[in-house]
Structure 1
Amino acid sequence: MKLVDEAEILVTAGDGGNGCIGFRREKFIPLGGPDGGDGGAGGSVWLVADENLNTLVDFRHETKFKAQRGENGMGRQAYGKGGSDLTITVPVGTVVINVDTDEVIGDLTRHGERLLVAKGGKGGLGNMHFKSSINRSPRKALPGLPGEERTLKLELKLLADVGLLGFPNAGKSTLIRAVSAATPKVADYPFTTLYPNLGVVSVEPHRSFVIADIPGLIEGAAEGAGLGTQFLKHLQRTRLLLHLVDIVPMEGGVEMSPADQVRAIERELERHDPELLKKPRWLVLNKADLLLEEEQKEVAEAIIAELGWTDRWYLVSAISREGTWPIMKDIMAFFDRQREDALEASQQ
C-alpha cells in the first residue's frame, strides 16, 4: 500500500538548442563569413520547499515533469533563447532520492530552500565557432546536449514537534481533532489514518506547536508488516512522543492488555530505531469515559504500576476532550524549557 507521503516522479530537464549553420549575406557582401549563432541552454528542474504543503498527495496524479527546451541558434550570430527552468514545490521535510543510484540528493528542511535535481542541456555551437584559416566557410554546427533525466523518490518525514503513536483505534485521530483545527477521518476500524495528519495546537497567542497523527502500528511494523516502516519514519524528527493506549480495549479491537500494548509498541520502536526509545515519551491512557468515574484512577494506576512507568502519564477521554487541554499546556511548557536550556547552552 502506497502512502501519499511517498511519491516517485520523473523529472526531465530541457535539451539545449541546436547551433545554427548560417552565413552573412548582405548587399555588396555576397560571400560573407559564417554567422550561425549558438543554441540556448535547456531549462533545469528545481525542487523548492514550501511550508504551506504537508503531504505529497499531488504527485499521485502528476508524476512526469519536463523543463523547457532551449531555442535553436539563428543567423547573424543570434543566440537561441534559453529554456525556462521548471520549479516544483514540495513540503518542508522532503528527502529526495535518486531511484537509479539510491543516492540521497538532498533534504529540504527550510521554507524556500531550493534543490537542483536535473540540469538543462548546454546549447550547441553555431558554425561561427568553426571558422579557420583553412576552412573559411564551415558547414559544421553542434547539436544541443540533452537535459538530465532522473527518476526521483520523494519521502516526507514530517517536521512535527509532537508525534502520536499507538495501536489502531487508540484514539489518536480523535485527540488531534480535539486539540487542533485538523479534522482527520475518525472511524472504528484499523488503519483509518492512511497518512499522517498535521494539526497546529495554539496554547495562547503566538505560542503554538505542531502535532502529527501517525497512523496506528501493529506488531511486526518494523519489518514492514501492516503499513510498516512507512509510518515509523515519521517519528524520527519529533521532539516529544505521546503514546496513546486504549485503557479498556474494546471487543473486536486489539486483543491485549493496555500494558502489553505499550510493550509491543516499544519493541517496534526499538527494532526500527533504538534512538526513538530515547526520545521523551509521555503515556496517555485514553477512553476513560468507558469506565465509571470511581474506577478510572484505580485502573490507570494499576497499568502504570504494571509497566513500572516513571515518566509523565495522563488519563483522558479524547472524544469528550476531558483531560486533553492540560496535556497541551504541559507540552508547551516542556518546549519552552527546551528552548531556554538550548539558549543557556549556547551562551556558555
Structure 2
Amino acid sequence: MTRNAQPGDGPHALTLPEIKLQILRELNAKSLLNAAIVCKAWTWPALDTMRQKYFIPLSAALSPLIQCEPKKLRDSSFWGAISGAQTAPEHWDRYKRDYGRRIAHLIVDIDPDTISESNPERPAAWSQVGPIFPNLVSLRFDIEGHATEEDEPENKDRWTYLVKLLIGPDLKNLTLSVYDVTKEVVEKNIQALANIAPHINDVQITNNIYIPLNYAPFTSMKSLRVEGHIDHDGWKALANCTHLERIELWEDDSGLEVHPQDYSVTFPQLGSLSIADCCGFRDRSFIVSLFHNTTMPMLWRLEVGIQTYTAAMSEVLRVEILGSVRGRCPLLKELRIDGPILGYSDITHRMISGH
C-alpha cells in the first residue's frame, strides 16, 4: 500500500526500487552470485517478462558490487517452464539464445498430443537443435496426455525428440509426473532420459499407471520417491540400483504389489526405507516375506504404515516386523510402525537397542 508524502517525511524518502537496491547493496556479494530468480507463472510470456523486468536491471545493479558484467553471472539459477502452447521453432531458438546455458532448473509441462499438431515434421528436427539447456541439473517432467494404442508409436517418438531437445548429460535430479499416458509411452520416455543422462541420482515419480522399473533404467540413482504402482518385477529390478540410499513409497491406492517370497533382494547401500500404509500390504505373509527376503545391511531408518489393519492383525504385524529387522539390520536407529495399537513403543526401543 502506498500513501502520499506527509509533513515530516523528509526530503529523502525512498521509492520501492530504491529500497530494493539499498537492500541488495547490504547483501554479501558472494550470496548475490547464487541468487535464484524465480518465475512463478510457468509460461513463456512470464519468463520473458522476468528477464526483461527483473534480471537485466538486477544484473546492472549487481555489476558494480561484484565487479563483473551481467552476462558473467553464470552461478545464478533460473527456474523456467515450457508450456504446450510454446513449441514453435522461433520459441526454441529464443530459449536457446537467451536462457539456454543459464537455466539449471526447468519445469516442462507439454501434452504429447499437442506437440506436433500444427507441423508433423517439427519433432524430427528438434533433436538436431538440442540440447537447448546443456547445463540443466534439475528437471521436472509433467507428462499428461491421452495416448491410445493407435497413436503410441507417434507419441513415443515425440517424447524422445523432446528429451533430446531439452537436456544434456549432466542432469542429476528428475521429477517425473505421469498421468493418462500408456505404460509404453512412459517406458520410451524414461529410456530416452536414461540414455541421455545416465548419471541421474535423485528420482521422484508420480503416476496413475504401473511404473516401468522392471529394467531399472536409472542404475546410478541414490534416491527414489514413488507415488504410484510398483509391480513384482519392479521391486526386484530396484536391487540392480546398488547405489540406492533412500526409498519412499507412497500411494493412495494399492501401490506396492510385490510378493518377494520367490527370491531374495539385497540393497547394499539403502539407509532409509519408508513404506506408506496404503501400499498394498495384502496379508501377513506379504509382510513377512518382504522383510525376511530383503537384505538391507546399511539400513538405519525404517518407517512402515499399517493403519488400515484391525487391532489384532496390527499387533501380529508389529511382532513380525520387529522380529524380521532384529539382527538383520544392525545399524537400525530409527523405527516407526504406525498402526492402531500404541502399546509396543517400549518393546520397539529395547529390541533396536539390543537390550
Q: Which structure: greater helix fraction? A: 2
Q: TM-score, normalised by structure 1?
A: 0.27
Larger Rg: 1
